[in-house]
Structure 1
Amino acid sequence: MSAKSASIVQQIIVWVIVLGVLAGIGYGVWAVARQMNKTYTTVDIGKGTFRVEVADTDETRARGLGSRQELGKSEGMLFVAEKDGDIPMWMKDMRVPIDIIWLDAKKKVVHVKRDVWPDNEPHEVYHTPVPARYVLELPAGSAKEHSIKPGVTARFSTGAQR
């Protein structure tokens, strides 16, 4: 290989490394920005307190907890609907089992589905028998452990945290 060819190969290698580093930095910035854009609130329900991510846009509701590798014992997600109604839930892209808790506009539990495990396609869709405004997804076993059942009222922290 001539000196000129070796120089070109070295330049290509340098550029590949530089572009790889820049791509990695760009992804890191994107991931941090996405995390910072999440809204959280605290939910007191039954005998438990949970820090939950708020899903109040079409995008966040569609993404849900899908693709999460784990869910901490006091973590979850609160889905907020624009009006009362049937809020169907499914386990698309889920990797962890959860309890699904439907609440009405007054934050009273109207239905609980315990220990829902990830499933294969076609995904089962879970419904509430009565209209709901919110759906709370918590780690499986939370409803039993914290006495969360129909009739129990939840309290959300007043200021959602970003």
Structure 2
Amino acid sequence: MSHERAVAALLALAVVLAAGIGLSVLGVLPAPWTDDEGDVRIVGADGETKAAIDVEVADTRQERYTGLSDHDSLEPGEGMLFVHGDEGERTYVMREMAFGIDIVFVGGDGEITEIHHARAPESGEDGAEMHYSGRAKWVLEVPYGYTNETGVEVGDELVIENTF
């Protein structure tokens, strides 16, 4: 292989690699160096843990769009953590959901800003018209009523146990 061809091949590889990293950072592609699972805790003002949750991580546009709609249920202590690049106003819907959930909005500082108890869509509803909004960098979805059962409330802190 000639020197020029080798340089061109390396340059093409660098461009593909940079594009892949860029798409991962933008949340279009999943980051290959991260897990799709993690552990989070919710801590009250007294520093005591109110809930420990094993989460699936939704950190791409496609994963955030699909969310839990491809699940049949969630058990207590299970959830999905939606990861956004920055804090902003977010709206979640119950599109094609088979069960109710609590939707917990968490600001960039880790503080819970809003909690919604979202019922499952009824017969004839697809859930797309069921809107739940709040300011968040992260959104945690857990089983319906779980935040009430564990005493989780606005102002509590979400602690991410491991990086994804």
Assess same fold via TM > 0.5. Answer: yes
The structure 2 residue matched to 1:107, chosen from 97, 105, 110, is 110
Q: Which entry has the higher C-alpha Rg, 1 or 2? A: 1
Residues 150 and 73 from structure 1, CA distance in 2 versus in 1: closer, same or farther, beyond 3 angstroms? Answer: same
| 1:142 and 2:146 correspond | yes
Counterpart residue type for residue 43 of structure 1:
V
Q: Aligned residue for 1:79? A: 82
Consecutive unaligned residues in structure 1, runs of 5 or more: 1-36
Residues 159 and 38 from structure 1, CA distance in 2 versus in 1: closer, same or farther, beyond 3 angstroms? Answer: closer
SS of the residue corresponding to residue 40 of structure 2 reads strand
Q: Structure 2: how far apart are the matches of 1:51 and 1:88?
A: 23
CA deviation string 1:63-119 (max 9, x = no partner)? 100031121111110011111111110011111110000000111100001243235
User: What is the TM-score normalised by the length of structure 2?
Assistant: 0.69
The structure 2 residue matched to 1:59, chosen from 59, 62, 69, is 62
User: What is the TM-score normalised by the length of structure 1?
Assistant: 0.70
Q: Structure 2: how far apart are the matches of 1:118 and 1:38?
A: 31
Contact 1:115 1:141 survives alignment (8 Å): no
Q: Structure 2: how far apart are the matches of 1:93 and 1:145?
A: 25
The structure 2 residue matched to 1:127, chosen from 128, 133, 145, is 133
Contact 1:105 1:132 survives alignment (8 Å): yes
The structure 2 residue matched to 1:91, chosen from 78, 94, 99, is 94
Contact 1:103 1:135 survives alignment (8 Å): yes
Consecutive unaligned residues in structure 2, runs of 5 or more: 1-33, 44-49
Identity %: 29
Q: Structure 2: how far apart are the matches of 1:80 and 1:116?
A: 23
Q: Aligned residue for 2:42? A: 45
* Runs of 4+ residues deviating >3 angstroms: none
Instruction: Give 1 or 2: higher helix fraction.
Output: 1
| 1:152 and 2:161 correspond | no
SS of the residue corresponding to residue 153 of structure 2 reads coil
Instruction: Give 1 or 2: higher strand fraction.
Output: 2
